[in-house]
Amino acid sequence: MVATVRGNAARIRIGNKLHSVFGISDFSLSFSRDTIEQDLVGEEGNLFLPGALSIDGSFTACKFGASGNSDALDSILNGTYVTISGAVSGSTHLRWYFTSAQITGYDISMGDASTITEASIDFTVLDPFNVTYDRNTGRVSD
C-alpha cells in the first residue's frame, strides 16, 4: 500500500517538542532488513535467514531559531538519545515511538532575504533489534 501523507494529517514529536516547534517541512522514516545467505552442501539451493534490521530517518526543520533545535544539536554533540514519535491521523496502522534515536547528521543551509534557513537532520534508531510492531494498535516501538 502506498499513500501520501499531508502535513495536516501527521503528528511528529522529537524529544518532548511537537513538530510545530521545529517547523518540519519534510519527514522520512525508512525500515530495511537484509537477508543472510549461506551455501549448503548436498542440498538444493541455499539457506536464507533474515539479517539485521535498520531504521533511519530524516527531517527538515524550517524554524531554525526555535528552542527545539537544541535537542537535535545536543544529541549529535554529546551522544544523547532523542525520542522520536509520531502518527498519521485517521490511521491505526501508522504510529511509531522510538526512545533510542540519535541524530547522525545536521546540515544547515543558510537563507537570505528571499529564502528560509533550514536544517536537514538525519537520525537512526540505535537498537532496532528491540523494535516491535503491535498489530492491534498499529504501533512500532522500541
pLDDT in tens, 97-139: 888 888 888 888 877 778 787 888 899 888 887 777 776 776 6
Does a structural domain hold residue 41? no
Terminal-residue alpha carbon distance, the chain: 24
Does a structural domain hold residue 77? yes
How far is the C-alpha of 77 from the C-alpha of 105, rounded, in Å? 10
Residue 2 C-alpha cell reads as 502506498
Number of domain units in the chain:
1
φ, ψ dihedrals at 118, nearest 5°:
-125, 155
Does a structural domain hold residue 42? no
Residue 15 C-alpha cell reads as 524529544
Mean pLDDT of 60-67: 72
Does a structural domain hold residue 25? yes
| Amino acid making up residue 87 | A
Classify each residue of 24-38 as buried b or exposed e, where b means 16 or more C-beta atoms within 10 Å of its C-beta: beebebeeeeeeeee
How far is the C-alpha of 59 from the C-alpha of 24, rounded, in Å? 7
Task: Quote the mean pLDDT of the chain.
Answer: 78
Does a structural domain hold residue 5? no
- What residues make up the domain containing 99? 10-33+49-141
Does a structural domain hold residue 122? yes
Report field, pTM of the whole predicted structure over 0.85? no
Does a structural domain hold residue 38? no
Does a structural domain hold residue 71? yes
Helix or strand or coil: residue 127?
coil
